[in-house]
Chains A and B, each alone.
Chain A
Amino acid sequence: MSQTLRFMIAAVYGLLLFSGKVGYAAEMPAVDLPIPTAIDRLLADSHERMRIVPARRADDRTLLRRTTLDLAGRIPTPQEIVVYEQDSASERQSRLVDRLLAATDYAWHLRNELDAMLLSGGNSPQEWKEYLLQTSRANQPWDETFKDLITPNQEDQSKRGASHFLKSRVNDLDDLTNDTSSLLFGVSINCAKCHDHPLVEDWKQDHYYGLQAFFARTYQTKSQRLAEKPPAELTFKTTAGVEKPSRLMFLTGATVEEPADPRTDDQKKADLEEVRLQREKDDQAPPVEPAFNPRAELVRLALQPENRTFMARSIINRTWARLMGRGLVHPVDQMHSGNPSNHPELIDWLERDFIGHGFDVKRLIRGIVLSDAYARSSQWLYAEPQPSPDDFAVALVRPLTPNQLASSLLVGTSSPDRFQKAFDSGGWDELREQLEKQAAGTAKLFEYPGENFQVSVTEALLFNNAQRIENDYLRISQDRLAGYMQESLRPHDSGEQAGDGEIDAMIKTAFDVVFARHAQEDELQAFRHYFQDRGDRSPAAVQQMLWAMITSPEFRFNY
């Protein structure tokens, strides 16, 4: 060992010792801790270091609404509120979570979220949505889903839908490369296409073109099948203008050597002709699987113990961000050395746990929503300045997704009786599927919330003036809340004024159904007066009060 090296090692060692005393290298909690305990212990360490006292726990009704939106993709029904409150206070959250994770709603909502994440949602093919629904129902391990997405088995009816992840991008090699990297590995490397990444030392052009090389042969036949072109030399041009061959290279720099191409020139010509025919004619026999498939090599590399950290951390971070409003690493597609997490031990612990438990997404979700961190209030009413969102010391307000909003509008404006039968005698599964279908059309009118989401004036105009809002949600009919409220005042149709008590009862019902909480005194007053001022047009007054509720931010956001 050289003198210099010896010295450097000593220096590094000394630094480690030193920082051990004054620094705060948190200890990694034990492997076998429950996830919520590990989350809360590590966040508590971090809060203590930063002298942050986190916000109090959200009240039960708020937590019920939040958890139901996150696990069932909609607000709770009145029946669910009753059941929730029957449980003892200490067990409410865990029993709620277990109920919701077992319910049919869970897979519908996870499907919608995965669809939005992987294919931007909206108009994705039925076959794809079916695939996502099945994997969500079966709680398919994430490494298997990852494999399905990159190397879909097109012969297997139940897996074929997965091919749309690639098919939707097959005409653009850059999309294939960028989206795979950003959505499945948590790193956006597209900056490295034209130059080495300006902010991140990890990413060179070699990485970009290395990852791209795994997809470079993928094409779609006229009969809509994914296929591989025969091998061909690939090159890229560096910023210095030098032509360089691109190798099959994973993000870690690990490469795959392709076996030598044994084909004769005639065979090569025939192969190219075969690709041409496959592309132009839809009556061809399915193309032959190549002996060496670069995408299969990518899957193999990415799942190796020393490399799988990328796909594992990416889905952990994205799941955390979905439930907590912000990633442990933020932004979620910038998980690289230049952008470390504020909670490095936590993401390390979660990674070890996730891999150790077979890439179990449902287990991860359950762990997060049972933590105290998840249950904090979203209101900061203290003298100290509000902590940064990266501290997870106060819950973040999150806009509802299009599907959450559309489904919640249907639930929140339904007559409280509407779900009673399904609740009493089964049939919820059917009702939930119907709800999902009914909501799909409206969901398309809203934008999926990304970072720094802003509500557009188009949405406000829609809620203000569109006939469909009136028809779908505010209709005075037996199955709608507006009809139920109006009906509750019916004895007074003959001219006699409804008393304060009856009006208040009606308003309280509305707050329970729409906001899943009790009306407060000032709200009762304001709504009562609003109603009494419109005694001559009671149905309209009811509709207007409901309108004010479904257009309020309390309804539009998960808080």
Chain B
Amino acid sequence: MGLFSSPPAALGASAIRNIEAAKNLRDGVSRRGFLQASAVGAAFAASMHQLDILQSPVFAEELKKQQKHVILIWLAGGASQLETWDPKPGRATGGPFAAIQTSTPGVSISELMPKMAQRMQHTAIIRSLNTKNADHGGAAKILETGRAVDQGIPCPDLGAMIAHELGRADSQVPDYVSMYSSTEGRRQGGSGFLGGRYAPMFLTEQMIPENTSRLETLSDLDHSARGDLRAFLANKFRSGRPDLSVDSHNSAYQRVRGIMSSASLFDIEQESLAMRAKYGPTQFGEQCLVARRLVEAGVPFVKIARAWWDSHGQNFETHLELVTELDHVLATLIDDLADRGLLEHTLIATFGEFGRTPQINSSLGRDHFASAWSASLHGAGILGGSVHGKTDADGQKVIEGEVRASDLFATIFQAIGIDYRKEYHVGARPVPITDFGGQPIRGILA
């Protein structure tokens, strides 16, 4: 339905034209109309016509299946590599927990992760991160952006870059959702020089994003019709003003109704009790279930921050609780994605800003440690059962295959088919998507 519930008889020709144009603007075909009107538009319009295949339902469904996704589980505060992916049982630094064999012969992980031990075929482990900075803020910035040195310009985080590479301009779903419910170490991240279009939809207190449901005082019909009236004004304004910021304003408003209708993706009540039971009753579990729903609907990047791993005291109690939960939820997420045929298109990554010291302090804690720690990758594009890098017997330093943040990012890009050598341009300055020198870790890629 258009702007009016019934076509008014006395509508002037120019008003009708403008309203048609407004409808088109809302329907997202204004670009074609605009180009056809211009002298050079004809050739371009023809090539746009070929793109109409994108509108076909079969093709769209196919495209959606091929779409890649990343779920980043951010272990805020810094998880211990020794209680997860790089155990050192029997050493002075090893702590009380044992190591267990995994489904891949020769690979052991902490006994706190029995479920993940059975899912090594979907897992690649990196045990040799050396990111040098062991201060929460500075380190988080490095592991969020993949850049070790301040670039003098605001740089996009991983989610924004992936949203930029994989998001579709006319997408009806958000392309970067970030959940951070606890307040410890909360950081919003951001899209830096890529611009507000790629900023995260950021969920903190609530599980449902803000302002995605209509006020009750307004009917759905009026909500939509006033949008048409707005588009009518917008279309008039745009004439003779081909400005990208103005376009971004219009496309933000065009995306509103789609985003609103996708708000139900955040509602886990719509999942069966059996499914919810699988993920468990914890907030982290529920957020991972939401992440699966989002990915299934086509969202390219979801980040879930699980806090707070900063165990300067009582490291082992903290990790007994947090690793056990991580093991369960991560395993469930992997199984669920695999059951739905989504795992081969979805990469899950787990890491935080750094790891924890091998030496155990007097409060039975482990402190910040950035020179030899671990990350894990699961699902799309990785070689299951692979392990990259080695630390020494006590886990004090990397002795083989040192990995920087830029290498980790290059690996993630490569795994989901993004060219890690791509360059952005900020004015005249080239800024590579992967920080200078970053190389994918070939050995753990499929």
A interface with B by C-beta (< 8 Å): 174, 178, 182, 188, 190-191, 193-194, 199, 330-331, 334, 339, 378-381, 386, 396-397, 399, 447, 449, 451-462, 464-467, 470, 521-523, 525-527, 529-530, 532-534, 540, 544-545, 547-549, 551-554, 556-557, 559
Contact = CB atoms under 8 A, between A and B. Distances in A.
Nearest to A182: B152
Contacts of A547: 226, 230
Contacts of A191: 152
B5 A533 contact: yes
A353 to B, nearest CB: 28
Interface residues of B, number: 65
19 contacts: A194-B149, A331-B427, A447-B196, A452-B245, A453-B195, A454-B196, A455-B196, A455-B245, A455-B252, A461-B212, A464-B214, A465-B213, A530-B225, A545-B229, A553-B246, A554-B233, A557-B243, A559-B237, A559-B241
Contacts of A460: 249, 252-253, 255-256
Contacts of B223: 464
B177 to A, nearest CB: 12
A48 B217 CA distance: 58
Q: Which of B225, B252, B256 has the most CB of A within 10 A?
A: B252
B254 to A, nearest CB: 9
Contacts of A452: 193, 195, 244-245
B260 interface: yes
A57 B199 CA distance: 37
B239 A379 contact: yes
B11 interface: yes
B248 A455 contact: yes
B211 A465 contact: yes
Given A530-B4, A540-B222, A457 B255 contact: yes
B245 A551 contact: no
A552 B256 contact: no
Contacts of B10: 525
B118 to A, nearest CB: 40
Nearest to A525: B15
A180 to B, nearest CB: 13
Q: Which of A378, A447, A451, A454 has the most CB of B within 10 A?
A: A454
Interface of B: 3-6, 8, 10-12, 14-15, 18-19, 149-152, 174, 193, 195-197, 199, 201, 209-215, 217-218, 222-223, 225-227, 229-230, 232-234, 236-246, 248-250, 252-253, 255-256, 259-260, 427-429
A204 to B, nearest CB: 16
A188 B428 CA distance: 13
Contacts of A461: 209-212, 256, 259-260
A548 B22 CA distance: 12
Contacts, number: 182
A549 B3 CA distance: 15
Contacts of A552: 230, 233-234, 237
A174 to B, nearest CB: 6
Nearest to B171: A457
Contact of A465 (B19, B212, B244): B212
B241 A551 contact: no
Nearest to A500: B10
A266 B242 CA distance: 69
Given A334-B428, A464-B223, 20 more contacts: A380-B240, A380-B241, A381-B240, A452-B244, A453-B248, A455-B249, A521-B15, A523-B233, A525-B12, A525-B15, A526-B229, A530-B225, A540-B222, A544-B222, A544-B229, A552-B230, A553-B234, A553-B246, A554-B237, A557-B249
Contact of B246 (A397, A458, A523): A397
A548 B226 contact: yes
B210 A540 contact: no
Given A458-B199, A465-B212, A470 B229 contact: no
Contact of B237 (A467, A522, A529, A553): A553
B290 to A, nearest CB: 18
Given A199-B429, A461-B259, A454 B19 contact: no
B245 A457 contact: no
A544 B233 CA distance: 13
A526 B232 contact: yes
A530 B165 CA distance: 40
B230 A458 contact: no
A470 B217 contact: yes
Contacts of A379: 239-241
A326 to B, nearest CB: 12
A103 B250 CA distance: 35
Nearest to B5: A533
Contacts of B226: 544-545, 547-548
Contacts of B248: 453-455
A553 B252 contact: no
Nearest to A193: B149
B175 to A, nearest CB: 10
Contact of A378 (B218, B232, B241, B429): B241
Which are the 7 A-B pairs with shortest beta-carbon distances? Answer: A190-B152, A379-B240, A456-B196, A454-B248, A454-B195, A544-B226, A548-B229
Contacts of A548: 226-227, 229-230, 232-233
A530 B18 CA distance: 14
A454 B194 CA distance: 9
B241 A454 contact: no
B354 to A, nearest CB: 19
A466 B152 contact: no
B4 A533 contact: yes
Nearest to A447: B196
Nearest to B427: A331
Given A339-B428, A548-B226, A457 B174 contact: yes
Contacts of A458: 196, 199, 201, 210-211
